[in-house]
Amino acid sequence: NAGVTQTPKFQVLKTGQSMTLQCAQDMNHEYMSWYRQDPGMGLRLIHYSVGAGITDQGEVPNGYNVSRSTTEDFPLRLLSAAPSQTSVYFCASSYRGSGRGIKETQYFGPGTRLLVL
């Protein structure tokens, strides 16, 4: 199993550009989430999905869109990049856990480091 994969690893954007951060998992997890990590701010939830076709907003959703057409993929779209979106982005997945062990444990991808100029 590859676990959670993210592409690209690094990206530089100009203000106003759009892009999609890719995330895929091969563990058949129901839940997938996007976090951003900024110095001193910990991990903040952007959007999450509890299954294919279902998404919802987290703590800091503004400027980002998501969709979940399959169980495996959960892309994050930056609509019009701003310098405030310079951050490290982590995708994570978890399984529902009922009767299958530890609940809500997040499996993180390696991250995408984004710089917006």
Partner 1 sequence: GQQVMQIPQYQHVQEGEDFTTYCNSSTTLSNIQWYKQRPGGHPVFLIQLVKSGEVKKQKRLTFQFGEAKKNSSLHITATQTTDVGTYFCAGPVSLLYGGSQGNLIFGKGTKLSVKP
Binding site for partner 1 (CB under 8 A): 30-31, 33, 40-43, 45, 48, 50, 56, 58, 90, 94, 96, 102-111
Tell me how far, at minimum, the Cβ of 76 lies from partner 1, in Å.
15
Could you tell me the smallest distance in angstroms from the CB atom of residue 105 to partner 1? 5
Closer to partner 1 by CB, 1 or 14: give it.
1
d(CA 30, CA 96): 6
**Shortest Cβ 97–partner 1 spacing (Å):** 9
Query: CB of 82 within 8 A of CB of 15?
Result: yes
Q: How far is the CB of 54 from partner 1 (least distance, A)?
A: 10
* Nearer of residues 50 and 82 to partner 1, judged by Cβ: 50
The residue among 5 and 17 lying less far from partner 1, judged by its C-beta, is: 5
Q: Beta 87-94 vs 31-38: how paired, if at all? A: antiparallel
